[in-house]
């Protein structure tokens, strides 16, 4: 199984998909791949426009994409995919559409069999056991919060430490603390922007300039950076 799970698509002041572009190129290799793109997290952008935006960046690194919404049979598209790419946006919208298309089991089987998987933001949430640590508003109601379960821990993409002056509401850490209180056996990784996990050959590696923050009930949160041993998550 090979996964590239990216916190975010765009760093402040950078072009779209700039920060993970070289990592995606390395991950996919030298041989040209036409990856299957899943744009269902896009809500305020059309699937055609979303696909075009991602295709432009993939072509820059010698690869291409075809969106699943262009196929008459989406399950068959998954079965023949050379790689699977799941874009960010609204996680609830993404999951609902994937459930309606019957895609969760076929994608899981395909990735477990070795097909490379790239996801950012909502696409990284999809690799977890559930979407219960997404930041998104539940604008639609999926059948279940359970998703691909490719990794046995939860990711919180776009993780922020900030507690703005004058803000009296919950911080991101407080919300994650609620999750681990209700789910005491589960690790949650606060994946900061500009970072990603590379999972392959039974190993996991953090890439990027910022550390990840690790949460679990009854443990003090840990800050682990590039080069740290994350194998306990698997």
Could you give the residue numbers annotated as active site? 121, 136, 158
Adjacent-strand bridge partners of 55: none
| Residue 105 · residue 149 · CB < 8 Å | no
């Amino acid at each position: 199984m090979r996964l590239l799970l990216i916190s975010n698509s765009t760093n402040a002041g950078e072009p779209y998909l700039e920060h993970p572009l070289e990592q995606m190129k390395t991950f996919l290799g030298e041989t040209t791949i036409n990856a299957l793109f899943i744009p269902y997290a896009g809500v305020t952008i059309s699937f055609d426009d979303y696909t075009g935006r991602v295709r432009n960046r993939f072509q820059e690194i010698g690869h291409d994409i075809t969106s699943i919404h262009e196929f008459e049979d989406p399950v068959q598209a998954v079965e023949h995919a050379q790689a699977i790419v799941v874009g960010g946006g609204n996680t609830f919208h993404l999951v609902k559409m994937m459930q309606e298309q019957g895609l969760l089991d076929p994608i899981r089987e395909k990735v477990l069999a070795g097909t490379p998987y790239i996801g950012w933001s909502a696409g990284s949430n999809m690799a977890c056991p559930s979407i219960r640590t997404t930041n998104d508003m539940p604008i639609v109601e999926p059948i279940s919060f359970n998703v691909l379960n490719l990794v046995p821990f939860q990711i919180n993409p776009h993780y922020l430490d900030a507690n703005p002056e004058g803000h009296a509401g919950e911080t991101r850490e407080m919300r994650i603390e609620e999750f681990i209180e209700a789910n005491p056996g589960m690790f949650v990784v606060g994946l900061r922007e500009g970072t990603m996990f590379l999972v392959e050959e039974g190993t996991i590696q953090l890439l990027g300039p910022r550390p990840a923050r690790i949460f679990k009930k009854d443990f003090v949160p840990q800050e682990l950076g590039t080069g740290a041993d994350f194998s306990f998550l698997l």
